Amino acid sequence: MRIKGVNPVILLGPNDAHLRVIQKNFEAKLVVRGEQIAIRGSEREVQQIEEIFTELVFLCHRKNQVDAVDVETVIRMVKLGEEDPEETSADHPKNLNGVVLFTHRDFIEVKSEGQRQYVKMAKQNDIVFSVGPAGTGKTYLAVALAVSALKNKEVERIILSRPAVESGESLGFLPGDLRDKIDPYLRPLYDALHDMIPGNKLRTFMEQGIIEIVPLAYMRGRTLNNAFVILDEAQNTTPMQMKMFLTRLGANSKSIVTGDVSQSDLPRGMMSGLQEAEEILSGIEGIGFVYFSKADVVRHRLVRDIIDAYDSKGQDDAGSKLSIQRSGD
């Protein structure tokens, strides 16, 4: 196939690093000569590799850069073979990474099959629970969907919230006034918004109350109409807090709840509101659940290995405890 019109260093990576990643994932042999890439292998693999390069060329033109995460994501999506023919377009024939939001810096796309299902679920339901490990894009995509809805005038405001409970720390021991104590817990939400909205515009939105970032405790008693409401780190809510949050939803509003049940910072023995919500609300029309796995991790490739290692440790510990209990029977 021909790769005319793109910078080969961007497409193939420094010292052909991207090319080597592709080669490692297939038995087919790749040889680059100028603007031509010769692919020798089975018909299926040749077709898959051509799809990969088509997508990477598109990213080169669109972003003027391609990184290792892009390459691994495209390979994974092509191998899954889950591209949706209804989402194709003249500008992007394959559209393996559907664009969620165009920003002042770049554009935001889905990067895994789990993220694709997440976006579809959010369009089909008024309340969506997004559950899974770190690095799967739960929070970032939720904010992107909210900003997209605001831009498209589907809602009039965005409210983002988190419980101020983290890593066993108490707010009372943190320095500063209440805002200084709370801001570190809300920082990931600020960071996501800064990626998607120019600084001056974001400040204006926040001053006018079009975008609010508030601790969960401050949500009590409110009715949120014409709003896109996000509850992040929901594994740290109590059952009563979760019920309180969900019952804030008013007319013409949508909500996304994100969390990772394996990283709860609640006191030992206290049930997470996220876990209880899964048990109570599954099956209600208009409420959707999306579950991510380590295959959906889109951060550094080592994040998946780290999750694997901790999961294995947890299983080993559970097995050891079971053996001890049985030996005492």
Dump the DSSP string for 209-238: TSEEEEEGGGGTT--B-SEEEEE-SGGGS-
Q: Angle of helix 113-124 relative to helix 138-151, nearest 10 degrees?
A: 40
Which residue in 76, 149, 155, 156 sits closest to 110, CA to CA? Answer: 76
Task: For residues 20 and 179, give the distance between their C-alpha atoms in angstroms, rounded to a whole number.
Answer: 49
* β-pair type (227-231, 157-162): parallel
pTM for this model (two decimals):
0.66
Q: What contacts 205, CB < 8 A, 6 or more positions away?
A: 197, 211
Whole-number Å distance between alpha carbons of 107 and 121: 20
Distance in Å from the first CA to the final CA of the chain: 67
- Per DSSP, the three-state class of 310 is helix
> What is d(CA 80, CA 163) in angstroms, rounded to the nearest whole number?
36
State the Cα–Cα distance between residues 221 and 259, nearest whole angstrom.
23
In sequence order, the 6+-apart residues with CB closer than 8 A to the CB of 9 are none
Q: Digits of tens for pLDDT over the chain (329 positions)?
A: 887 788 888 888 899 999 999 999 999 999 988 888 899 999 999 999 998 988 888 878 777 788 887 788 788 778 765 444 444 444 444 444 466 776 666 677 788 888 888 999 998 999 999 999 888 889 999 999 999 899 889 999 999 998 876 434 444 555 555 556 566 777 888 888 998 998 899 999 999 999 998 888 889 999 999 999 999 999 999 999 999 999 999 999 999 999 998 888 888 888 999 999 999 998 899 999 999 987 788 766 677 778 778 877 765 555 444 444 433 44
Q: Count of CB atoms within 10 A of residue 180's CB?
A: 10
Report the Cα 266 to chain-centroid distance in Å. Answer: 23
Helix (H) or strand (E) holding 29: strand 29-33
